[in-house]
Copies of this chain bind each other. A is one copy, B any other.
Amino acid sequence: MEMISCELDRKSAIPLYEQLYEYIKKEILNGRLPYKAKLPSKRKLAEFLEISQNTIETAYNQLSDEGYVEVIPRRGYFVQAHEDLEYVPKADMPVQESERKEDFIYHFHPGQIDSAYFPIHSWRKLAKQIISEENRELLLLGDPQGEWELRKEIAYYLYHSRGVICTPDQILVGAGMEILLQQLLILLDDELVYGVEDPGYHLIHRLLKTHAKEVYPLAVDEDGLMIEELEQAHIDVAYVTPSHHFPYGTILPVNRRMKLLNWAAEKEGRYIIEDDYDSEFRYSGKSIPSLQSMDQNGKVIYAGSFSKSLMPSIRVSYMVLPTKLSSRFGNEVSLYHSTVSRIDQHILAAFIRQGMFEKHLNRMRKVYRGKLDIVLRVLKGHSDSISLIGGQSGLHVVLVVDNGLSEEALLKKASQAGIKVYPLSSYMLVRKEDMLPTFVLGFAGIEEEKLEEALVALLDCWK
């Protein structure tokens, strides 16, 4: 047994025990203290290094906790076997580079909103009320399905705005549609075949594929989803956007709705996921009734979100499960945790309860209607080369460009002009060869004063 000749720096900010621990660790890893070697007794080492036995003990215990040495009662501390690995001195912290930012002048993002009108002061006031001593309880784990107070408000809102018939027990709250869909997959049988509209919301397809599900594209014509495809492809679960097809904007006609509901009713295990992603923004007539409101057989899983109606950064979406599935939730998914902060859920519940949500929606309908009018007016002058799909509701339009340029060329020109646009092809699974270049143009995120110049800049660069 050799003595340990560690040089201790008594002026260092690093505690003596830690210096000793680091030194011995290094000696063991270097092999200078070999396997089975006995460490000096605490008393002897304390005398030799002129430090207290307590310090030695703390260092030895740390080495023992981490498995560098073994304690054999009444015999002492012995070096443990370990595979060869060089001593890795503590690395410096890497240089923290600064944030990378995109630099587009105009960004026609279909998921963006107009943030200028959000009642941020009311939201802050509610946040102040909710984050308080009396609500300390909200720091703890909440209901995995979502806070009851919020689910109650959502049930009430959906009944009155979308005719959705449900109780709070059927509602599941989560941090985005992707998350909710993943939880839904746990409730549904493993072997199901999924169908998604094509074109459609591309993330859903990706997500199902990632989870190794069988997924097929479902063709869409000018009236929306072609129902016959469901039978042909042996689909069990259809993901659809009946009130406002994404991205075409088509409303699925009542005869197809009925066919769709009848298809689902025909066989056990079939379901329809109704993604009602922006139904709040219809600018004429009354809102299109939800498919869920027409469903007599508990076949529709209704899904919605506050991303467009409130703000995309809050990450609150919801699903209304048929009672058969919601009762399964108690057993299965309840082991998971809610994915939305409880505090945020209560702020949102209060926002709806106090009528601020409805007021905000009414205001935003006017704002977006005004923006859509600008889009329609500017594009009208270019009807020779650009035609429009949609244009009665929602926060985006679809442009078909027929000026001889390819999609790639148009994208490049836009990008060079500092304009970000999204080609329809990125939302398609099966790409049609003879299709004219088509783009999904989100107009909500561009300020009203800049929208016309943004559109003109786009049209100019495409000339």
Q: Footprint of B on A, CB under 8 Å?
A: 18, 21, 58, 61-62, 65-68, 80-85, 88, 90-91, 93-97, 99, 109, 111-113, 115-116, 118, 120-121, 123-124, 127-128, 131-133, 136-142, 148, 152, 155-156, 159, 163, 165-169, 175-176, 178-179, 182, 185-186, 190, 202-203, 206, 210-213, 223, 251-259, 261-262, 284-286, 288-289, 293-294, 296, 311-315, 335-344, 392, 445
Contacts and interface: CB of A to CB of B under 8 A. Distances in A.
Given A312-B337, A315-B341, 8 more contacts: A80-B254, A83-B255, A178-B336, A190-B212, A206-B335, A315-B338, A339-B339, A340-B341
A212 B314 CA distance: 30
Nearest to A259: B83
A312 B131 contact: no
A123 B111 CA distance: 30
B337 A148 contact: no
A141 B340 contact: no
Contacts of A203: 335-336
A462 B395 CA distance: 62
Contacts of A61: 284-285
Contacts of A175: 175, 179, 315, 339-340
Contacts of A344: 341, 344
Given A96-B152, A165-B91, A212-B211, A251 B65 contact: yes
Contacts of A91: 165, 293
Contact of A93 (B156, B294, B311): B156
A145 to B, nearest CB: 11
Given A123-B131, A203-B335, A141 B179 contact: no
Nearest to A149: B99
A96 B294 CA distance: 20
A382 to B, nearest CB: 24
A282 to B, nearest CB: 9
B159 A185 contact: no
A253 to B, nearest CB: 2
B258 A313 contact: no
Say what secondary structure dominates the interface of chain A: loop
B289 A66 contact: yes
A176 B144 CA distance: 12
5 contacts: A88-B294, A124-B127, A124-B131, A178-B337, A315-B339
B112 A139 contact: no
Contact of A288 (B65, B112, B211, B285): B65
A114 to B, nearest CB: 9
A440 to B, nearest CB: 14
A175 B116 CA distance: 27
A43 to B, nearest CB: 20
A117 B16 CA distance: 32
Contact of A166 (B81, B94, B118, B136): B94
A137 B115 contact: yes
For the complex of A and B, 6 pairs with smallest distance between CB atoms: A67-B253, A82-B255, A139-B311, A313-B342, A212-B212, A99-B148
B336 A96 contact: no
A258 B259 CA distance: 61
A202 B332 CA distance: 13
Nearest to A134: B120
A255 B69 CA distance: 10
A140 B113 contact: yes
Contacts of A223: 67
Contacts of A95: 167
Contacts of A96: 152, 155-156, 167-168
B67 A251 contact: yes
Contact of A85 (B58, B83, B261, B286): B261
Nearest to A252: B67
A294 to B, nearest CB: 6
Contacts of A165: 91, 93-94
Nearest to A340: B315
Contacts of A294: 85, 88
A93 B251 contact: no
A341 to B, nearest CB: 5
A142 B111 CA distance: 11
A337 B124 contact: no
Contact of A262 (B83, B90, B190): B83
